[in-house]
Structure 1
Amino acid sequence: MSTSPISAAQPNASGQNSSARIIFASFIGTAIEFYDFYVYATAAALVIGPVFFPHGSATAQALSAFVTFGIAFVARPIGSFIFGHFGDRIGRKSTLVASLLVMGVSTTLIGFVPGYDSIGSLAPILLCILRFGQGIGLGGEWGGAALLATENAPAGKRGWFGMFPQLGPSIGFLASNGLFFALALSLSDEQFRSWGWRVPFIVSAVLVALGLYVRLKIAETPAFQAAIERKERVKVPIATLLSQHWLPTLLGALAMVVCYTLFYNATTFSLSYGVSVLHIPRPTFLGMLCIAVVFMALATPLSAWASDRYGRKPVLIVGIIAAILSGFTMAPLLGSGQMPLVLLFLVIELFLMGVTFAPMGALLPELFPTNVRYTGAGVSYNLGGILGASVAPYIAQVLAAHGGLTWVGAYVSIAAAVSMIGVLCMRETRDARLM
C-alpha cells in the first residue's frame, strides 16, 4: 500500500501549530490517557479483586480483576472505529478533545464506585461499564495523537516527532505508579484498601482539564486540510479500511503485540506475582517499577532516532530478537525473588518495550493514506492490544499457576515471535510521504 507524495508538514495558515505546541499537545494527551489506563492496571493488581470480588480465593480474585482489566482492550478497537470515523471525516483536533473527555470522565467515576460490600453485584457491573468507557476513550486517543505529531513533522524527522506520543505512556506510568507508591508509603493497608486506591482515579479530573486546555489551542493538521481541499474524504472510513487496507492493518496489529506483552507482563502480572507470591512489599515493588520505567523512557528517544536514521524495520527486528531472548530471563530473574535480579528483569523488559514501542508512532500512520489514517493507525494499534495485552496478565496468571514462570517467559517469547512475523511481512515506511 502506498501513499501519495506531499511535502512534510509546513505550518498551517493560522500559524498555530508550532513544533513546540504540536509536541506538547501530542505528548500531554497520551501521558494523561495512559496515566488513567495504568491507574486501573495497578489497582487491578493490588485491590480490585478484594474490593469488587471479595468472595473466593486470592487467585480467583486476581483472575476476576484481570478480566475487568481486559474489558478495556476489547473496547479499544471499538473506540478506534468510532473516533477514527470522526477523525477521518471531521478532523483530528475535535476528535482528540472528545476522546480525552470520554477517558477522563470514565476514570474519575471509577474512583467513586462503591465496593461489593456496599452495593453488592452492582459494584462490579458499574466497574465493568466504566472500564469499557476507558477503553473507548483510549481507543480514539493514540491514533489521533500520533497523527497530530507525524502529519506536522518536518521531512526526515517523522520518527522523532512520532516519539512524543510514545513518550507519554512512560510519563503516565511514572505519574500513576508514583502516586500509588506515595500512597503505599503514607497509608496503612486498611486505609489504602478502604479509600486510598481511589485517589489516583479522582486526580485524573485535574489532569484532563489541563489536557483539554492544551488540545483546544491546536489547529488542524496540514495533511487533513489538504485532503479536504482535494475532496478525498470517504463516507465510511472503516469500510474503506477493511476492503482496501486490511493487510497493513493486520500487519500493524501483529507488530504491536510485542510491545503490549512486554509491558503488561512486566508491570501488571509481575506486580501481582511479586506481591502475592514472592511476598515483596508493595511499596518496594512499586518503587522498582518506577526505576525500571525510566529505562523505558530513555529507550524511547534512542529508538525513535535510530528509526529515522536506519529505518523502522531494522530497529524493530533488533528489538524483537532481544524480546524473544528476554523471555528466558523471567524464571531465573523474577523467580529468584532477590531484589537486584527482580529489578534487572523489570529494567530489561521495559527497556525493550521502549525500543519496540517508539517506532510505532511513525510506522502505523505511515501504513495508511490520509482518508483512513486515523482509523487505520488506531485500529492496528488497538487490535494489537487485544492480542498482546487484554489477555496477557490473565494468561500469565494461569501459566504461572500451572507451569511456573518458565511457561510465562515462553509466552513472552512466542508473543514477540508473532510480532516478528508482522514486521518481516510489512514494507519499510521511513521514506513514505504523508498526505
Structure 2
Amino acid sequence: MSSLAQENTKDPSQIHPTAVPKSRVILASLVGTTIEFYDFYIYATAAIAVFPALFFTGNDDTAKLLASMATFSAAFIARPIGSVIFGHFGDSIGRKATLVGALLTMGLATFLIGLLPTYHQIGLWAPAMLTILRFCQGLGLGGEWSGAVLIASEYAEQDRRARTAMWPQLGAPFGFILANGFMLLLTIFMGFDSTQHAGELNHNFLVWGWRLPFLASLAMVAVGLYVRFKLEETPVFRAAVQEDKKVKSPLAEAFRVAWWPMIQGTFIMMTTFVIFYLMTAWILSYGIASVEAGGLAIPYRTFLIIQLITILFFAAMVPVSGWLADRYGRRRSQLVLTSIVALFGLSFGFFMSPEAVGTGADANLVRIVIFMSIGMALMGVTSGAMSAYLPELFPTNVRYTASGISYNVSSILGAALTPYVAVWLNSRGGVGAVGLYLAGAAVLSIVFMAITHETRDVDLEKI
C-alpha cells in the first residue's frame, strides 16, 4: 500500500473537503491557469505583431502571417501529448505534484522564447527553435487544464460543483488581460505602431521590447509554484487511493472504459475553442492587417485596447456559466448557449465586413466593440461550465488522463487550425465565411451534447 493510502487509513478525516481552506483551493486552481494562459497569449500576440517580421522571410505579408500561425498551432499538436504524459502522473501519483511539473514546463519554455535570436541573426534555426519551444508550451498547457479543474471540482460540494470548478476558467481572461496589457504598455512607452513600424527591424520594440513579457514569465511561475506547493491532494483522489482504485496504466484504462465519453467530450468542447481563438487570435490579425491583405488596417494599439475592454465580458460571463450549469444542468444550458453561438456566427458579415465597418481611420469602432463584446460574452458562457462538464464524464482513476485527452484533442480540432483556417477563409470568401466556420462547429457540438447524458448529479467519488 502506498504512503498516501497509509496516511488516509490512519486518519480518514483527512479526505474531507474542509481539510483545506476553500480560498487556497480557488487560488491554487486559478493562479496556475492564469500564468499558463498569460504565457500562451503572449505568444499569440507576438505571433501576429512580431514574429512574422523577425522569424520569417519573404515579401508576402499573408504568407509570413500564415507561417507564424503555423508555429502557433504547434502547441495544439503537443497538448494531447502533454495530457497523456501529465495525465499518467496525475492519475497515478496525484494532482498536486503533476500540476507543479506542468507549470514549470510551460514557464521555462516561455522564458526561453524571450532569449531566442531571430531569423536575421541565425537563419532557419530561429523559426525551428521557436517551433520547438512553442511545442513545449503546448506540453505544459496540455497537463495544466485537467489538473487545475480537478483540483477545483474534486474539492467542491456536489450542488455547487460548476460554480466552484469555473475558477480555473477565469485564468483565460485574466491571463489575456495580463499578457495583452503588458504588450499594450510596451507599445505605448516605446512608441511602436504596427501600421507604421512593422518593417522597422531596428525599432527598440522589435529589437528587445517584445522579449520582456516572455522573460517576466519566470517571476510569475515562481509565484505559482509557491501557491501550489502549499496545496494538499484532493479528497476524491485520496479516497481513490484508500480504496485501491488506482491503475498502473491510466491511458490504457481510459481507452478501455471511457473511449466513447472521450469522443463526446472532444466535440462538446469544440465550439468553445473555435470561438475562443477567433475572438482572441484571429480577430487581432484581421483587425490590424492591411486592406490589401483583407484586414481592417486598424492600429495594433487601438485594437488591443478594444480587446482588453471587451475581454471583461468574457470574465463576467464565466461565473454566470457556472451558475446556469448548476441551476439548469450542464447539457440543457450548453445546448441553448451553443445554439446562440451558431446564430452569432451568421452575423460576422453584417458586423465586421470591411464594407459594413469601414477600414483604417474610417473604421466604426463602436460597431467593432459591440461585435467583440457579444463574442467575448459568448466565450464566457460556453467555457465556464466545461470545467465541470468534462471531468464528470469520467471515473476518478482515469479522470485526469481522459478529461485531458478530450480537452486537448478538441483544442486541435477547434483551436489549432482555427486562426490558420480563418485567415485562409477570409482571404477567399471574406469575414462571413469565417462566421460560417464558427456556426458549423457549433452545430457539431450541439449534436454531441444532444446524445450525451446529464452529469450535474454525478458523485465524483462513486464513478
TM superposition score category, shorter chain reference:
over 0.9
Q: 221-230 vs 82-91, which deviates more?
A: 221-230
Residue 65 of structure 1 corresponds to which residue in structure 2?
A: 68
Residue 54 of structure 2 corresponds to which residue in structure 1?
A: 51
> Does 1:204 pair with 2:189?
no
Secondary structure in structure 2 of the residue aligned to 1:318: helix
Residue 253 of structure 2 corresponds to which residue in structure 1?
A: 240
> What whole-Å deviation, never above 9, does each CA across 1:71-111 have from its counterpart, x for those lacking one?
00000000000000000000000000000000000011101
Q: 11-20 vs 332-341, which deviates more?
A: 11-20
The AA in structure 1 aligned to 2:338 is I
Residue 351 of structure 2 corresponds to which residue in structure 1?
A: 333
Contact 1:366 1:429 in 2 (8 A): yes
The AA in structure 1 aligned to 2:30 is F
The AA in structure 2 aligned to 1:196 is G
Secondary structure in structure 1 of the residue aligned to 2:157: coil
Q: CA RMSD in A?
A: 1.4
Residue 282 of structure 1 corresponds to which residue in structure 2?
A: 300
Say which of 211, 214, 217 aligns to 2:227: 214
Alpha-carbon distance, 1:15 to partner: 6.8
Say which of 91, 95, 102 aligns to 1:92: 95
> Does 1:313 pair with 2:331?
yes
Alpha-carbon distance, 1:332 to partner: 2.1
Q: Distance in 1 between matches of 2:304 and 2:257?
A: 45
Residue 262 of structure 1 corresponds to which residue in structure 2?
A: 275
Contact 2:15 2:236 in 1 (8 A): no
Alpha-carbon distance, 1:192 to partner: 2.0
Say which of 109, 132, 135 aligns to 1:132: 135
Secondary structure in structure 2 of the residue aligned to 1:153: coil
Q: Distance in 1 between matches of 2:114 and 2:159?
A: 43
Residue 6 of structure 2 corresponds to which residue in structure 1?
A: none
Secondary structure in structure 1 of the residue aligned to 2:460: coil
Residue 433 of structure 2 corresponds to which residue in structure 1?
A: 407
Contact 2:98 2:147 in 1 (8 A): yes
Q: Distance in 1 between matches of 2:19 and 2:256?
A: 36
Residue 323 of structure 1 corresponds to which residue in structure 2?
A: 341
Secondary structure in structure 1 of the residue aligned to 2:155: coil
Q: Percent identity?
A: 46
Contact 2:17 2:156 in 1 (8 A): no
> Does 1:368 pair with 2:420?
no
Secondary structure in structure 2 of the residue aligned to 1:195: helix
> What whole-Å deviation, never above 9, does each CA across 1:19-43 have from its counterpart, x for those lacking one?
1100110011111101111111111
Say which of 262, 270, 275 aligns to 1:249: 262
Pair member with larger Rg: 2
Secondary structure in structure 1 of the residue aligned to 2:232: coil
Say which of 33, 38, 48 aligns to 2:36: 33
Contact 1:11 1:17 in 2 (8 A): no
Contact 2:17 2:155 in 1 (8 A): no
> Does 1:416 pair with 2:434?
no
Alpha-carbon distance, 1:12 to partner: 3.5
Say which of 96, 101, 104 aligns to 2:104: 101
Q: Distance in 2 between matches of 1:284 and 1:334?
A: 16
Using the size of structure 2 for normalisation, the TM-score is 0.90
Q: Distance in 2 between matches of 1:55 and 1:369?
A: 51
Runs (5+) with no aligned partner, structure 2:
1-11, 193-202, 290-294, 359-363
Say which of 130, 152, 155 aligns to 1:152: 155
Q: Distance in 2 between matches of 1:431 and 1:299?
A: 23
Secondary structure in structure 2 of the residue aligned to 1:219: coil
Secondary structure in structure 1 of the residue aligned to 2:247: coil
Q: Distance in 1 between matches of 2:19 and 2:61?
A: 53
Residue 293 of structure 1 corresponds to which residue in structure 2?
A: 311
Alignment coverage as a number of residue pairs: 427
Q: Distance in 1 between matches of 2:217 and 2:185?
A: 16
Secondary structure in structure 2 of the residue aligned to 1:231: coil
Alpha-carbon distance, 1:185 to partner: 1.3
Contact 2:56 2:64 in 1 (8 A): yes
The AA in structure 2 aligned to 1:375 is T
Q: Distance in 2 between matches of 1:395 and 1:13?
A: 47
Q: 82-91 vs 195-204, which deviates more?
A: 195-204
Q: Distance in 1 between matches of 2:423 and 2:16?
A: 53
Alpha-carbon distance, 1:10 to partner: 8.0
> What whole-Å deviation, never above 9, does each CA across 1:160-199 have from its counterpart, x for those lacking one?
1101001111101111111111112111332222222111
The AA in structure 1 aligned to 2:403 is A
